[in-house]
Amino acid sequence: MPLPLKRTIYTGTFISTPTPTTLEILENHAIAVDEHGVIIDRIAFPPKREDSVLSPSRDEVVGWVERNWGTEDGWEWVRVGEGREGRGWWFPGFVDTHIHASQYPNVGIFGKSTLLDWLNTYTFPLESSLSSLTIARRVYSSCVARTLSHGTTTASYFATKHVASTNLLADICMQKGQRAFIGRVCMDNDLNPDYLRDESPEQAVEDTKATIAHIDSVDPNHALITPIITPRFVPSCSSPLLSGLGALAKESYLPIQTHLSENTSEIALVRRQFPTHNSYSHVYDTHGLLTPKTVLAHCVHLSPEERILLKERRSKISHCPVSNTSISSGLCPVRVLLDDGIDVGLGTDVSGGYSASILVAAREAAMVSRTLAALIAEEEPQSEEKDQQGVDPDKELLAKHSTSAKDRKKLSVEECLYLATKGGAKCLGFEQRVGGFEVGMEWDAQLVELDDAAEDGADEDGEEEEEEEEGRADAGAAGPVELWGRETWGEMVAKWLFCGDDRNTKKVFVRGRLVHERR
């Protein structure tokens, strides 16, 4: 069992996205976290002395703490910025709303195959091997450790059909301290290989109940681990199985995760399987699987009617912008979904996705939105009237409108990081607990530090000092992001989003407990 937590004071700069358009920067602050890992207070330090560029001294901090929270006895301290002012900050932990832990060994392997071919060639054989607890322990331990190292404090995992190894994944997340949703994958029809198929709809539901019971036994209050009902997707499930899982979700009030409209071939297959249904989404709905606690991965090709249905059911969408199996068929129009009022989070979709990093997913979400913006067709001016110089009077106005439409498609830095944190938490139903630094939220956080080697190579006038060739080769070796001493906080965050990686993630906490540290 982990040791009890101590009350802790974290100091430095705290950056978060409390809304999709807001980058909140709390510079020179302190946050107090109690022994349960819950934020109980946050206060700004007194302004820094004008003649000082450093954070307050320890004596100043101690005096400040005693005035606000009583004696410093019993408090631990985690300070940021001492000697590195402006180069590090606290950021909420990432939330991965869609990841296949069982596919982790196949990251980066998908070739040119389509989704269904990829499943049969790569995915199903790998998942079958996880019936071995020895193999499962190695795969799941590596996957959880890797995602933690990337700052993922919460992950919604697909496991496999095997009860024992799925339960093992829950145990490993519990041991390593990662907040997780664990789903035993259900798949019973003859489109699945016989070696990876549920015996019957009834047995699939019973096996799902067995995993739910196991998680309830190790984490009765679901403080860290939550079971999640997981039909693989419609093409893998019979109608009786879908109905059985829908009834189980209603009975248990547990969340649901699955896939929807990843590519056009998949949609055509569903249409053949359920010809009397209006749409792919309608299949889930008629089986009781579209609820406010449902997370649907991909959703690249939703019709307007399906978007209305998802909005009415308050179901959520996991945008997986690095998924090879979906982007090969199209680009998810996230702006349209957000404008429709549908909640969206980010998923890595390992191993359809090539990276276990939500930072990469946030970066690619920005690029997918920019690609969609670039694809907006330039409209030709409709007016035939011209002014005295022969210029169409509507052309300038039309150009402005076209630019506005293009810009509307683009996701901002703030929006992408919101989807990676509070947006994902909202999809999983616990945005009041994680995703930010408000009082009452749990301390799920990562310490981000950027490399300042570039700044160290400049004199007071900003002129570059001479360097040996060996020194040039070493520049930036501490990390992928270099600072030049002129960046604002917002610019540093943008550099991190587009250029950063796990080398910038120095510490990761879940519910106040240190779960990863880069040494």
Domains detected in the chain:
7-92+435-517 (2.30.40.10), 94-362+422-427 (3.20.20.140)
Q: Which pLDDT does position 171 carry in this prediction?
A: 98
Task: Give the range among 343-352, 354-363, 424-433, 473-482 with minimum mean pLDDT.
Answer: 473-482
**457 — pLDDT class (breaks 50, 70, 90):** very low
Q: Between residues 17 and 72, which one has the greater pLDDT?
A: 17
Residues 6 or more apart whose Cβ sits within 8 Å of residue 451: 476, 478, 479, 480, 481, 482, 483
Report the distance separating Cα 471 and Cα 476, nearest Å: 10
Q: Which pLDDT does position 454 carry in this prediction?
A: 46
What is the value of pTM for the model shown?
0.90
Angle, alpha carbons 149-181-362 (nearest 5°): 50
SS3 119: helix
What tokens does 295 get? 């997370």
Across the range 126-139, mean pLDDT stands at 98
Average pLDDT, the chain: 88
pLDDT one-digit tens code per residue, 39-95 = 999 988 766 555 454 556 667 766 777 777 776 667 787 877 544 444 899 999 999
What tokens does 59 get? 């004596």
What tokens does 467 get? 């360097």
SS3 56: coil
pLDDT one-digit tens code per residue, 98-113 = 999 999 999 998 777 7
pLDDT one-digit tens code per residue, 224-236 = 999 999 999 999 9
Q: Between residues 114 and 94, which one has the greater pLDDT?
A: 94
389 has a pLDDT exceeding 60: no
pLDDT one-digit tens code per residue, 294-310 = 999 999 999 999 999 99
Report the distance separating Cα 203 and Cα 166, nearest Å: 16
Burial 404-416 (b: 16+ CB within 10 A, else e): eebeebbbbbbbb
328 has a pLDDT exceeding 80: no
Number of alpha carbons in the 13 Å side-chain half-sphere of residue 34: 10
Q: How far apart are the first and last CA of the chain?
A: 24
Burial 487-514 (b: 16+ CB within 10 A, else e): beeeebbbbbbeebbbbbbbbbbbbbee
Q: Which pLDDT does position 114 carry in this prediction?
A: 80
131 has a pLDDT exceeding 80: yes
Across the range 364-382, mean pLDDT stands at 79
Q: Which pLDDT does position 391 carry in this prediction?
A: 52
What type of residue is 389? Q
Q: Checking phi first, is residue 145 left (phi over 0); if not, alpha (psi -120 to 50) or beta?
A: alpha
Q: Cα separations (Å) of 180 from 230, 315, 428?
A: 14, 19, 10
Percentage of the chain modeled with pLDDT above 70: 83
Q: Which pLDDT does position 118 carry in this prediction?
A: 86
What tokens does 274 get? 């359920």
Q: Which pLDDT does position 133 carry in this prediction?
A: 98
Q: Cα separations (Å) of 240 from 200, 245, 369, 478?
A: 9, 9, 38, 55
| 223 and 511 Cβ atoms separated by less than 8 Å | yes
Q: At what angle do helices 201-218 and 163-176 cross, to 10 degrees?
A: 20
Task: Give the range among 75-84, 109-118, 345-354 with minimum mean pLDDT.
Answer: 75-84
Report the distance separating Cα 210 and Cα 135, nearest Å: 21
Q: Which pLDDT does position 75 carry in this prediction?
A: 79
